[in-house]
Amino acid sequence: MKITKLTTYIVPPRWLFLKIETDEGIVGWGEPVVEGRALTVQAAVHELEDYLIGKDPFLIEDHWNVMYRAGFYRGGAVHMSAIAGIDQALWDIKGKALGQPIHSLLGGQVRDKIKVYSWIGGDRPSDVANNAKDVVARGFKAIKLNGCEEMQIVDTYDKVEKAVETIATIREAIGPYIGIGVDFHGRVHRPMAKVLAKELEPYKLLFIEEPVLSENREALKEIANHCSTPIALGERLYSRWDFKSVLSDGYVDILQPDLSHAGGITECRKIAAMAEAYDVALAPHCPLGPIALAACLQVDAVSYNAFIQEQSLGIHYNKGNDILDYISNKEVFQYADGFVSIPQGPGLGIEVDEAYVIERAKEGHRWRNPVWRHEDGSVAEW
């Protein structure tokens, strides 16, 4: 079997899909994208295409190493996301050719399903609390929300109190045993992060996510000493080498590699194994589309330390299209009692509705994240 063609589709709301074709008619799908940089990743995919055409798609490990190592300059969001989508598609081809789900080729599943959490939003604490209650009523056992808006490197306590009020209202609304993940989104700097972590401690959070930017992770030592809440991090790290010091430092409890950013299934399987050796949990980041989610579930299936999966159904970013729109076997993501089943079909286990993908690609997107500014006019972390 040989790779014959790579085709990319930029589709709403903010995704990039990749189709890899072979001379035997077997097709694989991947989702290589950086949110807000879809065109850049698309270009990187087609640069890697020059190497892949004519190659045996089964040689995934070798192709990964060539794509990573043979270009001399390596790593980073764009390069690793391009590799990630190609890697997903190659695994999809191999699984379909052999009639097996990818997790079967990775050693076999260790779980039948995995817990999922749902994003919630709202402008006021009461709105957020009501949205949280609605999500819990639908069966979810865990939720996640942004913990704060923009925050200066040293800021006033009214912003701290606003964040605490929101979490307190949610906790009162949904009771003591529903998991609450609070995402600081890297918006908070070291001086305020330790304050927020300590103030939120009484609400028994599932985790705090990106309390500081990954590049400022030396601050995690002090933050960890201000609370017992598990710390999660990793959506803006792109390889096992990026995660190496995070694990050796010992202050992060949950790794969140993104299967569409951190080198795909091949690399994230290795990151998961590294985390397991440090007794650190795995919770893959995935606010993206159905191909990315299917890839995450393949790694969740074989990773003992995976405990929860992010998914984007109904997320506020998904305007115009949602994850089920682009697949014909919509039942594959079976949500029940706060869990989603591990797909059992060949390859990724999803059937991409190619005709609909082509139709929506005519519209495409140029999604950009907002630019926030502080009261003094300086740019804020979003």
- The Cα 223–Cα 186 span in angstroms is 13
Backbone φ, ψ for residue 209 (5° rounding):
-110, 135
Are the C-beta atoms of residues 5 and 28 closer than 8 Å to each other? no
Residue 129 three-state SS:
helix
Q: At what angle do helices 290-302 and 77-98 cross, to 10 degrees?
A: 70
- Catalytic machinery residues: 185, 285
Long-range contacts of 125-132 (CB under 8 A, 24+ apart): 125/165, 125/166, 125/168, 125/169, 125/170, 126/169, 128/166, 128/169, 128/170, 129/169, 129/170, 129/172, 129/173, 129/174, 130/173, 132/170, 132/173, 132/174, 132/178
Give all strands (DSSP E) within 12-146, no chain letters.
Answer: 15-22, 27-30, 113-119, 142-146
The tokens of 192 are what?
Answer: 């305020």
Residue 98 three-state SS:
helix
Question: Of 22, 43, 41, 23, whose CA–CA distance to 31 is shortest?
Answer: 41
For the chain, first and last CA: distance in Å? 45
